[in-house]
Structure formats: structure tokens, C-alpha cells
Amino acid sequence: MPTYPLFHTVLCPIDFSKHSAQALAHAAALVKRLGGRLIVIYVEDPLLVAAAAMAYDEKLMRDKARAELRRFVEKNIRHYGIPIGSVTIDVAVGKPYDEIEWAADRLKCDLIVLGSAGETGANRMMFGSTTLRVLRRSPLPVLAIPPVRGRITRPAGNWPGPWALAPIDLGASAHADAMAAAVSARELDARLRLVHVVEPVPERPWIEVDARRRNRQRQRRAMARLASLKDELSWGVTDTIVQTGKPGREIAKVAASSQVGLVVMTRRRGQGLLGPRQGSISYQVLLDARTPVLALPSDKQWLRRAAALRPRK
């Protein structure tokens, strides 16, 4: 394990829903394993605060919200043996994304942990849209937890377990993305499997292109490139897979059909106006695979930090 963990200070915004309780449990599991610091924030709707201030004292209302937040946090971290006194708890008023961004910057956080859906209403975050916005705009790694279907399940103490999956786009940034995913998986004691999805060339009878032959060639090239990355990153990459189809759908299938506890992806913007927005594929995988997604930033400063933690020969 690195001397200085990559994910030491963890920020977990909550909205008192079961989705955010699930996210808080994952944040607590990480903090317990890595010996880090947990910060929990609740963002109150400013219109509700303004309306309540007409009938109640605003400070009293905030104190009550803070007390309720403390009870919620204590209940959901108790299993991991984290004392409530070691957790930083804050109540903010404003737009959820803006307050999350400000808190992450002010408190020098390394990771944001979010649920992917939440309650709606005047005093609730709408976590689906908030999570997607954080994925698109935050300069930090974001651990997005899938929606809760049924009862809340606490992650095991060894979460994410034996395997993590890293989808890789085989462009100029392939090595940097695979390296960052390998460092992240290694910090969590998980073996890393690289996967690349080849989008097939469609067959068109009026175009003289042997689509099947082209697709086989592209698959072979992808397999060779992944094998090369595996050799270059042998300290962190254990296995490789090449699939054919739509990236989001195929990544979700691989994650769901194997013992994968975490999908590690780099958030990268698409090409042009019609390209996928940063974080959109991560969010699709999150919802389809029902597996937590660790979405890493692609900026050079963060990648340099990750590279500094890779094993030296």
C-alpha cells in the first residue's frame, strides 16, 4: 500500500435517502481500510430555508439539521468502527453541486462518494442529476454508487473484493489511463482486468467493405495492444478482455457477469458537438452494471499524482 493514500480525505454528500446511506457505507468502508478522513455534507434548499426562517429561527433550524445529520451518519458508519467524533459534519445552503464543489476544494478532499439517485422534493437533493453533474465537472475522482434496489446492503470490509475492471480507450492516453486505474486498484488491494470494446463496422451491401474481416482485424489489434499494456503494467494489471458492441452496454455486461466489485474509468470528453459528454458513459455503466464506478479525472496534475504512487522497478 502507498505511504500516502491516493484517497485519504473522502467527501460524501448525503440527502437522507437510502441511496445516500448506501454511498455513506462505501465511503466509511474506504476510510476504515485506508485510514483516511471522512467528511459528510448535507445541502439544504435555500427556498426552504427562506420560508422556514419566517416562522423559525434560522440558526435553530440549522442546528436541528446538523443534529439529524449526525444521527444519520452515526447509524451508517457504526458497522465500520469509525467514531462519530472523527467525522467532519457540515450543513450548507445552496445548489447541491456548487456546495459540493466548494466543500471539496475548501477541505482539500481527494475523493467524492455519491449515490446515483435520491429523493426529490423541496428539501432533497435530486441525486441522479447531481451525480451526473459532479461526474462531468469535478476535477476530483468520483466514486458513484448504483441505485439501491430493495434493502441497503453494507459493503464488506474487503470491498471491492478481488477484482476491479478498467475500460480502456486505445488512443494516445491508453497507457496513462491504464496506469491510473492500476494504481487505484492496487490501493484497494484489487486485481485489475483491462477491457476494450470494439464498436463493429456495420455491413452495408452498397459499400465494398468486408466488415467481418475489418472487425476481426480490429479485435486482434485491440488484443495485442491490451497485452502490451499488461506487460508494461505487470505490477498492477492481471488480465485483459476484448468485447464487441456498444461500449457502455458491453462494459456493464462484463462487470455484471464476473466477480467485479468496482469499475475504474477515466472521464474524458468526446469529440465535437455529438461526442459523449464527460462522465456520460461512466453514468451509463453505473446504472446498467449495478456496480460502483470510480471515475478518474483526466487532467495532467492528477495523473502525475497517481504516477508518483506506482511501484518503481
DSSP code for 31: H
Whether residues 300 and 175 fall in one domain: yes
Whether residues 42 and 127 fall in one domain: yes
Whether residues 137 and 13 fall in one domain: yes
CA dihedral 182, 188, 192, 194 (to 10 degrees): -60
Whether residues 126 and 200 fall in one domain: no
Whether residues 134 and 207 fall in one domain: no
Per-residue pLDDT of the chain (313 residues; tens, 9 = 90+): 445 678 999 999 998 888 899 999 999 999 999 989 999 999 876 555 555 555 556 667 777 888 999 999 999 999 999 999 999 999 888 888 889 999 999 999 999 999 876 444 433 334 457 887 888 888 999 999 988 877 888 898 889 999 999 999 888 899 999 999 999 999 999 999 999 999 886 655 545 556 678 888 889 999 999 999 999 999 999 999 999 988 878 888 888 877 899 999 888 765 443 345 554 666 677 767 788 999 999 888 888 989 998 887 6
140, part of any domain:
yes
**Residue 101 is part of a domain; what is its CATH number?**
3.40.50.620
For position 152, what pLDDT does the model report?
82
Of 101, 117, 145, at which residue does a domain stop? 145
DSSP code for 218: H
CA dist 211 and 184 (Å) reads 37
Whether residues 177 and 120 fall in one domain: no
Whether residues 47 and 133 fall in one domain: yes
CB 246 within 8 A of CB 199: yes
Radius of gyration of the chain (CA): 21
Whether residues 133 and 256 fall in one domain: no
Closest CA to 21 of 154, 150, 129: 154
**pLDDT tens digits, residue range 241-289?**
999 988 878 888 888 877 899 999 888 765 443 345 554 666 677 767 7
109, part of any domain:
yes
For position 124, what pLDDT does the model report?
38
150, part of any domain:
no
**Displacement of CA 82 from its chain's centroid (Å):** 22
3, part of any domain:
no
Classify 147 as helix, strand or coil: coil
For position 294, what pLDDT does the model report?
94
Q: What single letter denotes the amino acid at residue 210?
A: D
Whether residues 21 and 122 fall in one domain: yes
Instruction: Compute the Cα dihedral for 147, 150, 155, 160 and give only its sign.
Output: negative
For position 52, what pLDDT does the model report?
54
How many domains does the chain divide into? 2
Laid out side by side, the sheet with 142-145 consists of: 88-93, 37-44, 9-14, 111-115, 142-145, 293-296, 260-266, 163-167, 191-198, 237-244
CA dist 310 and 187 (Å) reads 10
Q: Which domain holds residue 258?
A: 163-307
4, part of any domain:
no
